[in-house]
Structure 1
Amino acid sequence: MRKPCIICIAITGSVSTKAHNPAVPITVTEQIESTHEAFEAGATIAHCHVRNDDGSPSSDPDKFAQLQEGLRAHCPQMIIQFSTGGRSGAGAARGGMLPLQPDMASLTVGSNNFPTRVYENPPDLVTWLAGEMRKYRITPEIEAFDLSHIHQAVALHKAGALYGQLYVQFVMGVKNAMPADRDVFDYYIKTLERLAPGTPWCAAGIGRHQIELNEWAIAAGGHVRTGLEDNVRLDRTTLAPSNAALVKRAVEICDRHDRPIASPEQARAILGLAA
């Protein structure tokens, strides 16, 4: 049987603005509309950040609640995944939206360099965020920016510190972090399979590396992330007209590799999430 591919759409993030691409959805209403278009195109996970009215990053639980309500109404069975990343807040504020009980939430289990700063994920914060996810029955998506993050994620899962099924996303192409390197990518897959056989995984490429990582992951049997959070262009000279356009590009790659697109029901089964 051909293996379905889960497409995650990272709709907004904390960095991209309308100055980078007018299609970047900033308000909750824009985010709901953009996600619905991406859902119709084949995305089954919505990776969500929220913004303040001026477009700056926010960790406001009320905005997350409004976004989740809209997505549940307009994108039936789509997997809602909140970001607990560090650009939108510090300390406990990074998990202030977890009581809303989304299906999933991102979790980075170690620190690394970003283009202009250190992305700090100290052990006590990781422990607290993982504990909140267990408390509210939220499955983490491990965002691995480094090989050590894969090892740590597996150790935490084996220790019972992570709720639900282990799911790891390889993030490559962030400046000053792990480059988009094919040998490293292949070793990531080999390492995860050795440490936690059968664990589903995803890959995300930043900027021009997005399509590259889409291609690698789909061909290798993994799942993919795309969206305006990570990349605002179709190519060097063409802005992406929407999140849906980036999803459609991933779907075309799936078609070339004879990978069907996972339905929401199939994605939930693969990730061990409630229907």
Structure 2
Amino acid sequence: MSQPCIICVAITGSLPTKENNPAVPITVDEQIESTQAAFEAGATIAHCHVRDGDGRPTSDPDLFAALKEGLEKHCPGMIVQLSTGGRSGAGQARGGMLPLRPDMASLSVGSNNFPTRVYENPPDLVDWLASEMACYDVKPEVEAFDLSHIFQAASMFKDGRIKDRPYVQFVMGVKNAMPVDREVFDFYIHTVKRLFGDDTHWCAAGIGAQQLTLNEWAISSGGHARTGLEDNVRLDRDNLAPSNAALVHRAVDLCGKYDRPVATWQQARQILGLRMP
């Protein structure tokens, strides 16, 4: 358990609003300020979405460029991971920010159900997004909402569509997708190691009240952890989270509980094989 734990903070997402929690950062300036506090608390990856002037999710490359520039200025060394998620745009517009050459970008390699709709990731779009990431030297984080997504990532790695060994994130607790189940979680770890090697790095994210559960499972099992207001706006049943930093502090405390050092940004980049700034 001496492997440093990388903490990713998902700062905004596409769904949470100020009505859900006033601490949710919507504007670029709010996101930069919130991420800086989370970075100082111990997060070394910022998972980023952007919103338009009405607070709606968008894939606008200009907004992503402004956010990326601000994070690089105020959070020097932090890994910037931009979202290509489907709530923010359609078709190739979802990858319009990849020419900005962020350190990382999310990549969903298959479709699945979401609470009220199908999250569509057709094979031709997945292949195009992966090719753009390879072209611009952007490391993908494979978002696995289902076991089949891990196998698809393995297939894409084997045939060269994903050029480096994937960094896989298990997403559990989305309604109508994979529930939070410990046996499934352990099988995910086993499958990733079987397909990619025992020394493969992986991450886990839990949605809503399950965020704390997945943080604890990941940290105690030698993986890396995602937290943040995108996935969960509460500290507990009775209290809203006052900030992204507060959720990061909670993950840092869990690292202490399991004798896991928290990765510095230099260590996180080395672990993930990312270029130094």
Work out whether 1:129 is the aligned partner of 2:129: yes
Deviations 1:205-228 (A, max 9, x none): 000000000000000000000000
Q: Is the 8 A contact 1:138 1:163 kept in 2?
A: no
Cα separation, 1, equivalents of 2:217 and 2:108 = 22
Does residue 68 (structure 1) correspond to residue 34 (structure 2)? The answer is: no
Say which SS state the counterpart of residue 153 (structure 2) adopts.
helix
Measure the CA separation in 2 of the matches of 1:165 and 1:66.
Answer: 30
> Do the aligned residues in 2 keep the contact of 1:214 with 1:224 (CA within 8 Å)?
yes
Structure 1 CA distance, aligned partners of 2:254 and 2:230?
20
What displacement does 1:158 show? Answer: 1.5
Which residue identity is paired with 2:255?
Answer: C
Q: How does 1:254-273 map to 2 (within 5 A)?
A: 254-273=255-274
Paired amino acid for 2:50: V
Corresponding residue for residue 115 of structure 1: 115
Offset at 1:163? 3.4
* AA at the equivalent of 2:138: I
Q: Return the alpha-carbon distance in structure 1 between the equivalents of residues 251 and 158 of structure 2.
A: 33
8 A Cα contact 1:133 1:163, kept in partner: no
Q: Deviations over 1:61-95 (max 9, x none)?
A: 00000000000000011000000000000001100
Whether the 8 Å contact between 1:61 and 1:96 is mirrored in structure 2 is yes
Which deviates more, 52-61 or 170-179?
A: 52-61
**2:225 aligned partner:** 224
Residue identity opposite 2:14 in structure 1: S
1:82 correspondence with 2:77:
no
Paired-residue identity, %: 72
- Pairs aligned (count): 275
1:121-156 Cα offsets, whole Å, 9 max, x none, are 000000000000011010000000000000010111
Give deviations 1:135-190, integer Å, cap 9, x for gaps: 10100000000000000101111211113341000000000000011010000001
Q: Give the conservation status (yes or no) of the 8 Å contact 2:7–2:262.
A: yes
Match of 1:214 in 2: 215
Q: Could you tell me how far 1:60 is from its partner in structure 2?
A: 0.5
* 2:48 corresponding residue in structure 1: 48
Structure 1 counterpart SS, 2:263: coil
- The Cα RMSD (Å) is 0.7
How far apart, in 1, do the equivalents of 2:268 and 2:68 lie?
Answer: 18
Mark the CA change 1:131 to 1:93 in structure 2 (over 3 Å): closer, same or farther. Answer: same
Aligned equivalent of 1:58:
58
What is the TM-score normalised by the length of structure 2?
Answer: 0.98
Helix, strand or coil for the counterpart of 1:80? strand
Q: Which residue of 2 aligns with 1:139?
A: 139
Deviates more, 1:83-92 or 1:152-161: 152-161
**Which blocks of at least 5 consecutive residues in structure 1 are unaligned?**
none
Distance 1:164 1:49 in 2: 24
8 Å CA contact retained: 1:165, 1:272: no
Alignment partners' CA distance in 2, 1:208 and 1:163? 35
2:237 alignment partner in structure 1: 236
Find the aligned partners of 2:122 and 2:166 in 1 and give their Cα distance.
20
> Conserved in 2, the CA contact under 8 Å of 1:139 and 1:165?
no
| Aligned-partner residue type, residue 125 of structure 1 | L
1:231 CA displacement: 0.1
1:171 maps to 171
Q: Cα 1:204–1:213, aligned 2, differ >3 Å: closer, same or farther?
A: same
- Judge conservation of contact 1:137–1:163 (CA < 8 Å) in 2: no
Distance 2:53 2:175 in 1: 28
Task: Name the CA distance, whole Å, in 1 between partners of 2:154 and 2:164.
Answer: 13
Partner SS for 2:130:
helix
Q: Give the secondary structure class of the aligned counterpart of 1:18.
A: coil
Q: Secondary structure at the match of 1:183?
A: helix
Aligned residue type for 1:33: E
Distance 1:196 1:70 in 2: 35
Question: What are the Cα deviations for residues 224-270 of structure 1, in whole angstroms up to 9, with x where unaligned?
Answer: 00000000000011000000000000000000000000000100011
TM-score, scaled relative to structure 1 = 0.99
Structure 1 runs (4+) deviating above 6 angstroms are: none
The answer to whether the aligner puts 1:25 opposite 2:30 as a matched pair is: no
**Higher mean Cα deviation, 18-27 or 161-170?**
161-170
